[in-house]
């Protein structure tokens, strides 16, 4: 009789052994809270340019997070937040086209792109937690490959800039232009009032790098393993984690 050794995998609730950064100093949290209290209402429906000019005055060395779904934030930061870094969360599960866009951003805005990766590469994650964790436990996969890498990458910054729009999802319908994240950092979202059409028009008008999958039915682009095209008129984010009770990766919740 043949006996096969059963592979024991780690509980996906337990992340890889790597320390998360220390909390933001209380003095920095207090300063950020004062800025939010003073300017949040004023900036709620402000233009992207106004919001980024405000950020350049109050927190110029921020991290501008880019999913590479579009490159609008990179261009706006180039014009209005020139000391900020461009931060790309490389989950190692992206579409090849997404990496092509990232390489293009690196060339167009030299010496500004920072790539953040998870503690474990794909093969190491498979051997530690089992193959295809994105299917068996998508929450854990997003936590290890997006949320925790972002936390580590943001350790050197007092603020970060996001590309979320209020029209993207019900969970974002009341998103603020400026707020505090859970760590007490300033979270700045200059595109909150924009529509998808306005985003695409800004790309066209300014000759920006365009993600090729946008024209193939992918209005919202995440990891290749968890993103499907959507039919015209459907919710743009309905192709994200299709078939699963999941609408957010955890970066904005």
Find the helix or strand (DSSP H, E) in which 66 lies.
strand 63-66
Ramachandran bin of 161, using left for φ above 0, alpha for ψ from -120 to 50, beta for the remaining angles: beta
DSSP state, residue 154: G
Is residue 176 a known part of a binding site? Answer: no
Q: What is the residue whose two structure tokens read 């790597």? A: 18
37 annotated among ligand-binding-site residues: no
Q: Which of 62, 150, 188, 249 is catalytic?
A: 249
Does the annotation flag 223 for ligand binding? Answer: yes
180 DSSP β-pair partners:
186
Q: Is 249 a catalytic residue?
A: yes
Kindly give, in sequence order, each residue whose CB lies less than 8 Å from that of residue 160, ignoring residues fewer than 6 positions away: 62, 63, 64, 65, 87, 154, 181, 185, 186, 187, 188
Q: Is there a binding annotation on residue 26?
A: no
Locate tokens 């949040």: which residue?
A: 40
- Which alpha helices (H) appear in the chain, and where do they start and end? 26-43, 48-58, 72-80, 96-108, 122-129, 133-136, 138-142, 148-153, 196-205
Annotated binding site for [4Fe-4S] cluster: which residue ranges? 141-142, 223, 226
Catalytic residues: 249
Annotated binding site: which residue ranges? 141-142, 223, 226
């Amino acid at each position: 009789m043949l006996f096969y050794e059963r592979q024991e995998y780690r509980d996906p609730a337990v992340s890889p052994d790597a320390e998360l950064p220390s909390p933001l100093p209380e003095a920095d949290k207090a300063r950020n809270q004062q800025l939010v209290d003073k300017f949040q209402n004023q900036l709620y429906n402000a233009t992207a340019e106004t919001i980024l000019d405000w950020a350049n005055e109050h927190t110029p060395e921020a991290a501008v997070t880019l999913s590479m779904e579009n490159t609008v934030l990179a261009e706006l930061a180039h014009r209005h937040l020139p000391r900020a870094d461009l931060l790309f969360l490389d989950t190692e599960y992206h579409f090849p086209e997404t990496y092509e866009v990232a390489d293009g951003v690196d060339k167009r805005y030299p010496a500004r792109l920072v790539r953040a990766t998870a503690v474990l590469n794909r093969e190491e994650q498979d051997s530690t937690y089992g193959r295809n964790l994105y299917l068996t436990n998508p929450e854990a996969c997003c936590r290890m490959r997006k949320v925790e890498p972002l936390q580590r990458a943001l350790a050197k910054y007092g603020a970060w800039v996001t590309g979320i729009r209020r029209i993207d999802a019900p969970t974002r319908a009341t998103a603020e232009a400026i707020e505090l994240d859970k760590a007490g950092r300033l979270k700045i979202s200059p595109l909150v009032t924009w529509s998808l059409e306005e985003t695409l028009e800004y790309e066209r008008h300014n000759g920006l790098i365009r993600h090729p999958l946008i024209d193939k039915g992918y209005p919202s682009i995440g990891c290749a393993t968890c993103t499907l095209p959507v039919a015209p008129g459907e919710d743009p984010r309905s192709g994200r984690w299709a078939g699963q009770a999941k609408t957010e990766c955890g970066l904005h919740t």
